[in-house]
Structures are given as structure tokens and as C-alpha cells.
Structure 1
Amino acid sequence: MKALIIVDVQNDFLPGGALAVKNGDQIIPIINRLQRKFSLIVATQDWHPENHGSFAANHSGKEIGESVSLNGVKQILWPVHCVQDSKGAEFHLDLNRNNWSKIIQKGTNPLVDSYSGFFDNNRNGDTGLSDYLKSEGVREIYICGLAADYCVKFTVLDGVDEGFTTYLIQDATKAVNLQEGDFEKALEEMEDHGAILTDSSKI
């Protein structure tokens, strides 16, 4: 059994959003086409409280892009984004949601960020994604969405660690690219960790 995991295709990560990924909207038609090939589809959703510790606005004197220690983990500070029940946290209207089996919300604990769809960044909080997939008999997962160098990457790495044959769909993801070349580094890291790089035409 295989599953498609769509990571964080939310308004705040798309052009015009608070933490926009350049050309992030270009992957939506690709993801919609991909969905026709899967009977099990799971989406992750960044779902932060307003007082989340990853927001620069919640740290006096700190700027976006600076780092702090958050619950013992190095944390990059981001703009306020994907606040619970906000427009920015909603999935893009063009994203087909008709056949989704489950939505996994993450980043709900203000004391720790959660890039991965499986665990928070401390690996203390479990979203239940792994148990759900295994209960459905899933052995292969195909991951796409935003952003390649953060939430997608950590979801892929955890997917491998959880024992799934894990594919990264390269043409169905885009990177934040805080530093030039971050996308390429993320791809290399995922592949080195045991993920299989593929593209939508091969699925």
C-alpha cells in the first residue's frame, strides 16, 4: 500500500503569504494530478498558536532569521504564520481536497516547533502520522509540498526512520532557500538518508 503525503500547502507559504515560498503555487497543479494515482492521501497543516516560540515577534529585540534556543533546540525565528483559524493557515483554494483521508496538524505546542509531519523538533511530540499509516497497511510514502528545505525535508527524514520506503517528488516541492543552494543541499541530505528522489512523471 502506498500513500501520498502533502506537506503544508497553505496560504502563508504561497505567494502573498507571510512566509511565501517563491513559485510555491506552481506545484499545486502537479499535486492535484498526483492525487489521482493514490487511494490514501494525507495532508499536514502548520497550526500555530499566536504565542508560538518560533515567531520573531514573540522575542523582544530579535529579528526574523535570527536563532534562539527554544526548549533546548536551535530555532530559526520566522514571521508570524499559519496561526490557528487564520486565512494564512488555510489550504490553498486550488488544492483538491476531495479525497483526503486525514489532516495532520502540527506546530500546536508554543514551546517547540514542528517541521516534520511525524514529530516535533524535539522528537517528543508524536503527531500520530506513523501509527495511522501503519494501521492502514502503508509501506511506501510519496512526499510533496512546502518547503523542501524544512517541513518536507524533515518529514522525509522521519519517514525513512519510521521504516517506510520514502520517495521525495522533486517537481512537486519548492524550497524557502534562506541561503542559496539550500534546495540542492536538502535533496542531497534526503537521498543520503535513504530517501528515493523521483518526479511526478514516474509515478
Structure 2
Amino acid sequence: MIISIDVDAQKTFTPLCPDELPVADGHHIVAELNAQAALADLRVMTKDAHSPNAAWLCTHPNDILQPTQLPDAPEKWVAHAIVGTEGFELLDGLPAETNYDFCVWKGVSPALHPYGACFHDVRERLSTGLIEWLTVRGATTIIVGGLATDYCVKSTVLQLLRGGNWQVLVNRAACRGIAEETVAAAWTEMTAAGAVILDNAAAIQHHLNPMQPN
């Protein structure tokens, strides 16, 4: 069973919402996310879903990543993916939420700001149900793409690798990251943990079916 996961493919992480957390070219991953989903049996959506009263909010970009002293939201961030705003929306060209097979909304509580999609809390005690759902569905291969490479994608991939006996493939062309240095470190960390990094959906297809002619 092959599962494709769209990690936080939302307008908040693109130049479409320049006052939030815009990731360069973040809005250009839709075609690759759809291409990797075409290789899968089921498709999962994850979204940041934040409160306008979140305890980790800061008003100035210079304060981003400053400590909060909150155990499950350790770093400050500017407002992003506030429920009901444009930034909360999925990228144009992706399915409607109701057309996915499983959905995760994370960070709803004002005191929580998880990066990975498998747990509601940073300490990884409160499951979102994603690992359990993948297990029940008999997942053997999980294909991951989304935003941003160096935070939510990386954390989700690492949680998946720890959470089950399946192969995790990461579609490089379906990801975009915030900073060159942290993106490079994320690729290294994911590879070291056992993820298979592939350049695009075509490379994933060849990996899954190496005997199939190009």
C-alpha cells in the first residue's frame, strides 16, 4: 500500500501571503504533489491550523525563533495559517480537503505549535492518529512532499521513520525550504535517519518500478 502525503501545502508558506511565512517558490509544488499522488493508493493532507490568540505569536519578524518557554511551542513565529484566512487555504490545484483519504489539522490549540504531522505536541505524546491510520491501512511505502523542507517536512519524515516499518520516500521537487543552510541540514538528517530522497515523481516511479521502461 502506497500512501502520498501533502505536508502543509498551504498559501501561508508561499509568496501569495508575503506577510506570513513565504517560502520562495512554495506555490510551485502542486504539479509534483499531484504527480506523486498519482503513484499512490491513498492521499493524506496535513495543514497548520492556528488560532489568532496563539501563545507563540510575535509581531515582528526579527523575533521569529526566539524562545517562548512553552514546552510544546518553544519558538516564536509571526501569524500564519490562521484558520479562516487565505493563508490557511491549500494551494490552488490541490484537491479539496474532503477529497483526501485522511487529514491532519495541527496547532489548533493556542499553546501548541508542532512541526511534525504525527503528533499534536512537540514532546510527541499526543498522536494525531496519522501513524495509527497508516498502520491500519497497511502502508508499505510513504511518499512525502510539502512545505517547508527544513521544518514541517523534516519533522514529519523523522516521525514517520520512527513510527512504523515502512519505506519513506521524499520528493525533492515537491518540497521548498526556508533557508539554504537549514534545508541542506534537513536533507542530511532525513537521509541519515533512513529516508530515500528522490529528485521528482518520475524518479519515484522508477524507484517503485525499476523494471518498467521509461
Q: State the partner residue of 2:212.
A: none
Change in CA separation of 1:170 and 1:42 when aligned onto 2, cut-off 3 Å: same
**1:68 matched to 2:79:** no
Q: How does 1:1-203 map to 2 (within 5 A)?
A: 1-17=1-17, 18-57=20-59, 63-72=62-71, 75-97=74-96, 99-119=99-119, 120-163=121-164, 164-177=166-179, 180-199=180-199, 200-202=201-203, 203=205
Distance 2:125 2:68 in 1: 16
Question: Can you list the C-alpha shifts for 1:24-56, whole angstroms capped at 9, x where unaligned?
Answer: 112111112222221200010100111112321
CA RMSD of aligned residues (A): 1.9
Change in CA separation of 1:158 and 1:85 when aligned onto 2, cut-off 3 Å: same
Change in CA separation of 1:74 and 1:33 when aligned onto 2, cut-off 3 Å: closer
Count residues with an aligned counterpart: 198
Report how far residue 137 of structure 1 moved.
Answer: 1.1
User: Residue type of the partner of 1:156?
Assistant: V
Uncovered stretches (5+) of structure 2, i.e. residues with no partner: 206-214
User: Residue type of the partner of 1:33?
Assistant: A
| C-alpha contact 1:70 1:111 (8 A) present in aligned 2 | no
Question: Can you list the C-alpha shifts for 1:149-177, whole angstroms capped at 9, x where unaligned?
Answer: 00000000000000232111111100011
For normalisation by structure 2, the TM-score amounts to 0.85
Distance 1:66 1:201 in 2: 36
Uncovered stretches (5+) of structure 1, i.e. residues with no partner: none
User: Residue type of the partner of 2:187?
Assistant: L
Distance 1:84 1:74 in 2: 18
Identity level (%): 28
| C-alpha contact 1:48 1:109 (8 A) present in aligned 2 | yes
For normalisation by structure 1, the TM-score amounts to 0.90
Give the structure with the larger helix fraction: 2
User: Residue type of the partner of 1:195?
Assistant: A
Question: Can you list the C-alpha shifts for 1:114-138, whole angstroms capped at 9, x where unaligned?
Answer: 1101012121221110111111111
The residue matched to 1:141 in structure 2 has which SS?
Answer: strand
